[in-house]
Structures are given as structure tokens and as C-alpha cells.
Amino acid sequence: MATVILDAGHGGWDNGATYAGRREKDDNLAMVLAVGEILSQSGVNVLFTRVTDIYESPIQKARDANNSGADYMISIHRNSSPIANQYAGVETLVYSLYGPAMRMAENINASLAQVGYNNLGIEARPNLVVLNSTNMPALLVEVGFLNSDEDNYLFDTFFDETAQAIATGILQSL
């Protein structure tokens, strides 16, 4: 079975987005650990860039992924917008709109839409280090907007279903 390295975005001194006392780094880590557990139970070899609240730079995370021999890198984040409750939904970022990362992004977004998230689509972001400095297909999943009450409701109330949806999208692509 394939090897997947999961990255919980931000960490340590880098909170990522914040909203009403909520920190993106905490949501990212909780989700990565839950997705990792599901994938492991499904026979996937799962590695992590972090399993505690530490900071690693994006380039170090890419190096970790490259040194791991993983087949895919999936970075988990929460989105944010300039105005609270301006947007809601999931979006996945990839280096290019072609190839295996794109197919995995489509599967993850479709699975998350079944949980109830708006599917905002897939965007090519070749300027992101975790996407352009990895030797394997890599994607960055924005699991809803941290400053959207609607998305936080889905993230909290359907946490297990959200983790399962991300895992299902990954498994469909392996």
C-alpha cells in the first residue's frame, strides 16, 4: 500500500488564522491525527510532519516529505477571509491542475461536499513551498473557513465525518 505524509499546517508560535479564540494550528493537528488514524486502519503507511504543537518552516516540511519516501503529501489547513462569515466551503490547492494530485483533490472535495461543505473547487498555486518543493504529488486542503460560523459548525459537529471524507478521498485516489 502507498505511503502518505500528512502535514498539519502551522504549529508552535505560528497559530495560522485565528477567530473568536480558535486557532487554525489546533484544528489542523486534530484533523491530521484523525485522518491518519483512519488511513492507518485502512492499510496505508502514514507519516506526519508533526504530531505535537511544534513549528517547522514550509521548506522543512517539504524536506521531511522528500526524505520520507512518501507517495503523496497532504497538508491540512483551514481557510480565512478578510471579513468573518464572508465565505464558507472547502478548497484544495495543488501545484498543477493536472495529474494525480488533481485527481486526489477532486475526490477529497467531492467527499467533503457530501458532509455538507460548499465545494469551492481546486486552485493551482505553484508558488506554495509545500506544493512546489516536494518530489511527490502534494496538495493543501483548506477544510472550511476558520472565520465562518457555518464551517466551524460543520467542522465541530461532523468532525469524524469530515476526517472520514478526507480519508475516503485519499483512499479513492491510491
Strand partners, 123: 93
Cβ atoms of 163 and 8 closer than 8 Å: no
Domains detected in the chain? 3-173 (3.40.630.40)
Identify the band that residue 90 occupies on the pLDDT scale cut at 50, 70 and 90: very high
Annotation marks residue 56 as catalytic: no
Report pTM.
0.97
pLDDT at 2 over 90: yes
Do 5 and 64 touch, CB atoms closer than 8 A?
yes
Q: Which of 24, 142, 150, 161 is catalytic?
A: 142
Cα gap 149→134, rounded to integer Å: 33
SS3 145: strand
pLDDT tens string 98-137: 999 999 999 999 999 999 999 999 999 999 999 999 999 9
As to burial, measured by CB atoms within 10 angstroms (0-12 exposed, 13-18 middle, 19+ buried), residue 8 is buried
